[in-house]
Structure 1
Amino acid sequence: MTNVQGMIETCVQCGECVEVCPFYKATGNPSYGAMAKVGAARSLFAGEGLTEEGLKTLWLCTRCDRCVSTCPVGISVPDIVQSARAELRRRGQWPQKCSNIANAIIEHGSPMAAPPQDRITYLGKDHNVREKAEYLYVPGCWASVRLPEVARASFQLLTKAGLDITTLGEKERCCGLFLIDNGLMDEARELAEKNTLLLESTSAKTVITECPGCYDVYKRVYPALFREPNYEVIYIADILKDIVEHGNIEVKHSGRKVIYKDPCPLARRYDMTKAAREVLGHVAEVVEFEEHGAEAVCCGAPAGVKPLYPEVANELAGKLLKEASSKGVDQVGVGCPFCMHHMSGVQNGTEGPLRIRTPSQLMLESLASER
């Protein structure tokens, strides 16, 4: 709290962060930009009552970090928002929808409270996965439960490449990113210990994540909340890049164009922008959004924004899809299953649907032996 209060007091209200905030882009209203979130948090921690607009701006934040690099005095608005949401919970001012999602993660192991057997759909009926292996593939909640075709593509590629690989199957649980984004750090700390020990129980030396959020949580947050793990965490695009370059899998260029949407945590916190593009470059011509890499626009859905303000989240996704269409592509490559889930849902109401696929899916479609 002391550090957060210090950041709030440091803000000089220069406005540099306003125009880069995705929620200013979506609404055109500076009251929902990053600077307004600092102002709302200042009022909250001063014991003042928040207006409806003040509450809304604190929840209209995916903690995408786009504002962080623009701040001339190094303020982390996402950290301020995280603390403000924790304070709102202590005051009993949490939205019921957020409470429902948090409870589903804590009690049932996923944001959608899915039964454990839903996590293994992507493996097929005749799956035979060993308990221990050198590599552990973790698809995450959205890829395993809502988009099993995404997890299936990655697991098939990793298997075809000859990796000694396993999964957690029905034992997998949510990484808890939603809890972290919303300030439930005690609950997140419990998950950090349970999940770290669970991942280590497979004896895997390398954990491969499909979800960028899982990557960030395993790599950065869990060590801070619990301890350093006995495994290395890598992102799916990095291992795909390696297996193609080493000849474990051969692919052919499709002759099509694809525009790539960077996952926020990877691009901004780790500068991980090249591997996915290199993978896609083997199978298609890669086209860029005007704002890409560390400046990529957030899809608008994470951290509770989609369930609380779907119209605003959908506006951001719609802008991305409209820009993609204007670039003359028929495919959008996404590095995040939740981005894919969100953008695909928005596209159902638009004309001329784009194919929204992960690098694994596009790579699987382009296997040289299957064309």
Structure 2
Amino acid sequence: MMSDFRERHLDEILVCNRTRCGFCHEECPVYSEKRIESYSCRGRMQIAKGLIQGLYDPSPALIDRLSACTLCGYCKSQCALQTTEIIEDLRASLLESGTPPVARHGEIMRWVENEHNPYFEKHADRTRWLSFHHPLADRSDLLFFAGCTTSYRQPELNEAMLAVLESANVKVGYLGEDEWCCGSVLLRTGDRKGAVQLAQHNVEALRAQGARVVVTGCPGCYRTLKFDYPKLLGSTGLEVLHSSQLFSHLISGNKIELKSDVVGSLTYHDPCHLGRHCGEYEAPRRVLKSIPGAEIVEMQRTRENSWCCGAGGGLRSAFPDLSLRIAEKRVLEAAGTGAECLVSACPFCRSNLKGAVDSLEMAESLMVLDLSELLAKVT
């Protein structure tokens, strides 16, 4: 509720309103496109102040401003305040106070409640990507959490992930239809109650499988399972790994034999969930540097200063044109390095960056791959 939100965040919001430094403007992906104060982090802090002081009621235009944010975390990397947490909490507090979200987010929330995915697909189709080529253990200490994006939209990444693990003789389990959406999309768009229900179900299913370690190729799932679930439920007793971390460990232990099939240059895009929000910048780069014949060239903006792909925070679902323009800027930056391949470690980033490559008609000069795809090609 808004009174609780006020108690949690008023001091930080007032600090922002009084200093008005504007460091968050410099590389905010949405503000760079809109050039309107209310689309910036500082502007959203002003909106928050007005709401908690009762200066105005939440209007559709105001909700639009609060929703048009990727929650990439760049503002937080430039500021001592917990900016992304404040915006997430404000979205949730407004929803809990009876203010509806933007229409598309509301549709997604209702679908997730019934079918446990945000892609308007039937839950029964979650496991259609499964192939007999990669047998999965009935029970295993290590469990693969596929996530919604790869299960419904990019199944080739699940295939690549399992092919790499199989090459290293690593056996993994899988929840199958017992796997539900991790809840990231609900947390970012404000539906905390729905996210808690998903978290409770998934943790119970993971424990029933005997999982001790969970690995996922989706940074959104990784962040949610590793950091958000303990906040929502308390300790889960699970170790959570991103696939890049597991790949790096297997390569350093000589469990994966790499071929020199990669010729040419690669540049790496840091996913916001994995990088700024979880602090993992090096594991993907260690994997890339271990590939024989691969030349790694960095973009100008990397690690905590990396430019967002434009897909996160519910932006792509509600504001697809804006999301694509943000992705196009990143693709042009990648092309400026002279790299032949743009690699990320996030299926959501891969999808949006691929869309930008296509819209810019650059598919012949710049390939977009997920880290798991690239590794599967050289093992």
Band of TM-score, shorter chain: over 0.9
Name the SS of the counterpart of 1:313 in structure 2: helix
Which residue does 2:69 correspond to in 1?
61
Correspondence for 1:146 among 130, 153, 171: 153
Q: 2-side partners of 1:235 and 1:299: how far apart?
A: 19
Name the SS of the counterpart of 1:329 in structure 2: coil
Deviation for aligned residue 1:177: 0.8
Name the SS of the counterpart of 1:266 in structure 2: coil
Within 5 Å, which residues of 2 pair with 1:45-60? 45-47=52-54, 48-49=56-57, 54-60=62-68
Q: 2-side partners of 1:218 and 1:52: how far apart?
A: 32
**What's the C-alpha RMSD, in Å, of the aligned pairs?**
1.8
Identity of aligned pairs, percent?
Answer: 29
Correspondence for 2:10 among 5, 8, 33: 5
Q: 2-side partners of 1:190 and 1:142: how far apart?
A: 20
> Per-residue displacement from partner, 1:339-364 (whole Å, max 9, x unpaired)?
11122223222222121111111111
Q: 1-side partners of 2:86 and 2:177: how far apart?
A: 35
Which residue does 2:290 correspond to in 1?
282
Deviation for aligned residue 1:99: 0.6
Which residue does 1:15 correspond to in 2?
22
Deviation for aligned residue 1:70: 1.4
Structure 2 residue 148 is the aligned partner of structure 1 residue 136: no
Q: Tell me the amino acid that sits aligned with residue 129 of structure 1.
A: L
Within 5 Å, which residues of 2 pair with 1:158-177? 158-177=165-184
Which residue does 1:351 correspond to in 2?
361
Name the SS of the counterpart of 2:268 in structure 1: strand
Name the SS of the counterpart of 1:265 in structure 2: coil
Q: 2-side partners of 1:220 and 1:257: how far apart?
A: 34
* Structure 1: unaligned runs, 5 residues or longer: none
Q: Tell me the amino acid that sits aligned with residue 250 of structure 2.
A: I
Structure 2 residue 337 is the aligned partner of structure 1 residue 327: yes
Q: 1:208 to 1:101 in 2, by over 3 A?
A: same
Structure 2 residue 247 is the aligned partner of structure 1 residue 235: no
Which residue does 1:70 correspond to in 2?
78
Q: 2-side partners of 1:201 and 1:6: how far apart?
A: 43
Correspondence for 1:183 among 187, 190, 198: 190
Q: Tell me the amino acid that sits aligned with residue 304 of structure 2.
A: A
* Structure 2: unaligned runs, 5 residues or longer: none
Q: How does the TM-score come out when normalised to structure 2?
A: 0.91
Q: How does the TM-score come out when normalised to structure 1?
A: 0.93
Q: Tell me the amino acid that sits aligned with residue 6 of structure 1.
A: D
> Per-residue displacement from partner, 1:275-330 (whole Å, max 9, x unpaired)?
10111122321221211101111111122211222221111100011111121112
Within 5 Å, which residues of 2 pair with 1:282-321? 282-283=290-291, 284-321=294-331
Q: 1:119 to 1:355 in 2, by over 3 A?
A: farther
Q: Tell me the amino acid that sits aligned with residue 351 of structure 2.
A: H
Deviation for aligned residue 1:183: 2.4
Deviation for aligned residue 1:51: 6.6
Q: 1:269 to 1:306 in 2, by over 3 A?
A: closer
Within 5 Å, which residues of 2 pair with 1:89-104? 89=95, 90-104=97-111
Structure 2 residue 41 is the aligned partner of structure 1 residue 31: no
Aligned length: 365
Deviation for aligned residue 1:128: 4.0
Correspondence for 1:86 among 77, 89, 92: 92
Deviation for aligned residue 1:125: 4.7
Q: 2-side partners of 1:21 and 1:227: how far apart?
A: 33
Name the SS of the counterpart of 1:348 in structure 2: helix
CA contact (8 A) 2:72 2:313 kept: no
Q: 1:330 to 1:224 in 2, by over 3 A?
A: same
CA contact (8 A) 1:117 1:170 kept: yes
Which residue does 1:118 correspond to in 2?
125
